[in-house]
Amino acid sequence: MSYFDELAFQYIDGEWRSGTGSWDIVDFNPYDGEKLASITVAGVDEIDQAYRAAERAQREWAAVNPYTRRLVFERALRVVDEHESEITAAITAECGGTALKAAFELHLVREFLREALHLALRAEGRILPSPDDTKENRLYRLPVGVVGVISPFNFPFLLSLKSVAPAIALGNAVVLKPHQNTPICGGGLVAKVFEEAGLPAGVLNVVVTDIAEIGDALIEHPVPRVISFTGSDKVGRHVATVAASHFKRTVLELGGNSALIVLDDADVDYAVDAAVFSRFIHQGQVCMAANRLLVDRSLEREFTEKFVAKVESLKVGDPGDPTTHIGPLINAGQADAVNALLDQTVADGATALLRGETSGTLVAPSVLTGLSEDAPILGQEIFGPVALIIPFDGEEEAVRLANATPYGLSGAVHTGNIERGVRVAKRIDTGMIHVNDGTVHDEPLVPFGGEKHSGVGRLNGDSMIEVFTTTKWISIQHGRSRFPF
């Protein structure tokens, strides 16, 4: 039995069950269009059942010794290792992920599970002094309770687990809604791993559904206190608005429009390698991808020739072939949107140094240059295999161009002088930026998140404690207080 037969259900209070909604989500392989699964969506009643199950289970789970909670993550790591080949096949089939992409995702999944294992022990309290000699102030770090997680389609297993694992490690329960294009890798698979790892029923629940069926019930429900959302800034704005109206905390990891800057003293060959990976990993469907390649004019010709030559060597095709570099986009609608954007940009005067052909969801890489500063494509997240080369004259112009976007997630600076790179990096309005490296990075200990339209809050490391716990002040009067009346 494949994961697409076994896991095509809702997972509520430890039971795999069918939804009761009015329609089915059909899960397709984006490469060949094969039907992988059909899942009847969860309705509002199932959303309530999932949150109520989480609420009941959370009280007992929070009382479990953190050292004991860690054992779940040790077993989860073993489950991932034991089922690596099946998980890899599922990522390829459902996401269109190449072998490189699947290996990259699984590597990070393991790293984040290891971090969650240690995170269970890091919710430290404090004792603070008081002006009253007989009074003691204790600050406790307690679980927030129940967390709602909404995950995207591009790295679904990782980006679901990235919020689910730390929330559970810190004593919370979770209701997870995966993206409808990746309900198995982003939802059922996560539940299966933790079920096999011995997580008690109800601590993690997965609902496969859509706003067309449930409206804002997932956010408005009175049980969850924190909503963790990863996706587009448009949807993130809506999530934030609804959550705020119900006094819920949010952590929002949204889109990006990263710039990879090549200064005049950079190693061009190395910068080309970094740029090709940063732009085309997973067909460019990565929030940290280098949409814009800013190159000092003195290096523009050399960089462009080498970059285009390397891009032309990338193999486009079946993601199941281990030699493939570029697989399919997630669906035909995304492929059509990328092509329409390309056609409009060229019609507006851009030069296509490379114009990739499209066959179904397979979109071969394109490289554009000669863009005007007000070209609409420069201000948006492309989420496809399209690279934009923009020349600049000197650091000041590089910084100005890099910041000329409503987004601020990631970036990179290439230079022969590390401290020069750091000085430039500090001036770029992003939450993350890398000197002499690519733009696509994630590490479990380092705060991950963006500025401007790229999100609110941070994930990873100690930031998870801020997000998924709350501070409680308990004072103890060892003597007797004096009251004014």
**Angle formed at CA 99 by CA 88 and CA 436, multiple of 5 degrees:** 125
pLDDT of residue 369: 98
- In Å, how far from its chain's centre is CA 314? 25
Counting Cβ atoms within 10 Å, is residue 91 exposed (0-12), middle (13-18) or buried (19+)? buried
- In Å, how far from its chain's centre is CA 480? 52
Tokens of 203: 């601590």
Q: What is the DSSP string of 64-124?
A: S-HHHHHHHHHHHHHHHHHTHHHHHHHHHHHH---HHHHHHHHHHHHHHHHHHHHHTT---
Tokens of 354: 């490379």
pLDDT of residue 24: 97
One domain, residues 397 and 463: no
Judge whether 44 lies within some domain: yes
Calpha distance 280→290 (Å, rounded): 8
Q: In this predicted model, what pLDDT tens digit does every residue of 287-336 receive, in sequence order?
A: 999 999 999 999 999 999 999 999 999 999 999 999 999 999 999 999 99
Judge whether 481 lies within some domain: no
One domain, residues 250 and 277: no
pLDDT of residue 243: 98
Sign of CA dihedral 69, 12, 166, 172: negative
Distances (CA, A) of 216 to 150, 221, 235, 386: 12, 8, 12, 34
The CATH number assigned to the domain holding 373 equals: 3.40.309.10
One domain, residues 160 and 279: no
Considering the candidates 46, 195, 287, 395, report the single residue annotated as catalytic.
287
One domain, residues 199 and 299: no
Tokens of 7: 């896991």
Calpha distance 370→388 (Å, rounded): 9
Q: Enumerate residues 6+ apart whose C-beta is below 8 A from 59.
A: none
pLDDT of residue 2: 85
Calpha distance 170→117 (Å, rounded): 10
One domain, residues 94 and 220: yes
Question: Known catalytic residue: 60?
Answer: no
Domain tally for the chain? 2
Question: Known catalytic residue: 287?
Answer: yes
Q: Which of 454, 467, 460, 466 is nearest to 230 (CA)?
A: 454
The string over 66-78, giving b where at least 16 C-beta atoms fall within 10 Å of a residue's C-beta and e elsewhere, is: eeebbebbebbbe
Distances (CA, A) of 352 to 116, 266, 272, 274, 371: 45, 25, 18, 21, 10
Domain that includes residue 48, residue range: 3-254+454-473
Calpha distance 151→101 (Å, rounded): 18
One domain, residues 119 and 209: yes
One domain, residues 323 and 466: no
The tokens 């099946």 sit on which residue? 86
Judge whether 388 lies within some domain: yes
Distances (CA, A) of 480 to 127, 204, 476, 483, 484: 20, 45, 10, 10, 13
Taking phi first (over 0 means left), then psi (-120 to 50 degrees means alpha), and beta for anything else, what does residue 22 get? alpha
pLDDT of residue 402: 98
Judge whether 185 lies within some domain: yes
Calpha distance 147→249 (Å, rounded): 10
Taking phi first (over 0 means left), then psi (-120 to 50 degrees means alpha), and beta for anything else, what does residue 359 get? beta
Q: What is the DSSP string of 175-189?
A: EEE--TT-TIIIIIH
Average pLDDT by stretches of 10, the chain with 485 residues: 91 97 96 97 98 98 97 98 97 97 97 96 95 96 98 98 98 98 98 98 98 97 98 97 98 97 98 98 97 98 98 97 97 96 96 96 98 95 97 98 98 98 98 98 96 97 96 96 92
Judge whether 214 lies within some domain: yes
One domain, residues 135 and 283: no
Cβ pair 119, 166 in contact under 8 A: yes
Judge whether 217 lies within some domain: yes
- Quote the pTM value: 0.96
One domain, residues 208 and 351: no
One domain, residues 220 and 277: no
Judge whether 460 lies within some domain: yes
Judge whether 478 lies within some domain: no
Calpha distance 451→127 (Å, rounded): 33
One domain, residues 244 and 268: no
Considering the candidates 253, 395, 396, 451, report the single residue annotated as catalytic.
253
One domain, residues 117 and 196: yes
The CATH number assigned to the domain holding 183 equals: 3.40.605.10
pLDDT of residue 285: 97
Q: Which of 102, 469, 96 is nearest to 319 (CA)?
A: 96
Q: In this predicted model, what pLDDT tens digit does every residue of 21-75 receive, in sequence order?
A: 999 999 999 999 999 999 999 999 999 999 999 999 999 999 999 999 999 999 9
Q: Which of 394, 389, 391, 369 is nearest to 264 (CA)?
A: 394
